[in-house]
Amino acid sequence: MQGTLLRWALILARGTETVAAILLIAVIAMNLAQVFFRYVLVDPISWSEETMRYTTTWMVMLAAAPALLRREHMEVSLFDSVRSERLRRLVGQLVHLCVAGFCVLLIVKGFPAAIDNMRQVSPAVRIPMTIPYMAIPVGAVLVLINTLCMMLLPAEALAQLEDGEGAP
């Protein structure tokens, strides 16, 4: 059970990291193109800034989940020096519960907010604003999945994830 969960967590993490990396490359390419068109050709691209903004939002929300799984987010390590292993685990689970609760809030409020903006279109790209707004609840779902994995997996399995080991 735990091996299967670890394998699926790794597959999900690698998939979202791949998509986030592709989005980062797209943002860099759009930025370089915008600089070239604006300063060399003196004819700026009208849609590039807006597209980069929405793409960056998606990139950040997708990359947050695997970063959480590998414990790469900033954290307050107030209880790391506590001798009691039981207290450290209890505080860790409490933190995971808070993160999960916040993700549930983002999901419950985010999906309706995104759907409610279906008729609104972005000024330059002319896409429904549901697409950029959907990044928040989708990212929250991914973070929630990884938070639940962190709550269920043993410390040894999580250490493998932090080291970048383990193949799906």
Does residue 101 lie within any of the structural domains? yes
Instruction: Tell me if 168 is assigned to some domain.
Output: no
Tell me the pTM: 0.84
Q: C-alpha distances in angstroms, 122 versus 28, 49, 88, 99, 139? A: 21, 12, 47, 31, 21
Q: Is 157 contained in some domain? A: yes
- pLDDT above 80 (res 143): yes
Q: Which domain holds residue 109?
A: 2-163
pLDDT digits (tens, 9 = 90+) for 4-46: 878 888 888 899 999 999 999 999 999 999 999 999 998 889 8
128 occurs within a structural domain: yes
Q: Of 148, 155, 147, which is closest to residue 67 (Cα–Cα)?
A: 147
The percentage of the chain sitting over the pLDDT mark of 70, rounded to a whole number, equals 86
Average pLDDT for 93-101? 91
**Number of structural domains the chain divides into:** 1
Q: By three-state DSSP, how is residue 58 classified?
A: helix
Question: Of the candidates 75, 78, 80, 30, which has an alpha carbon nearest to the alpha carbon of residue 54?
Answer: 30
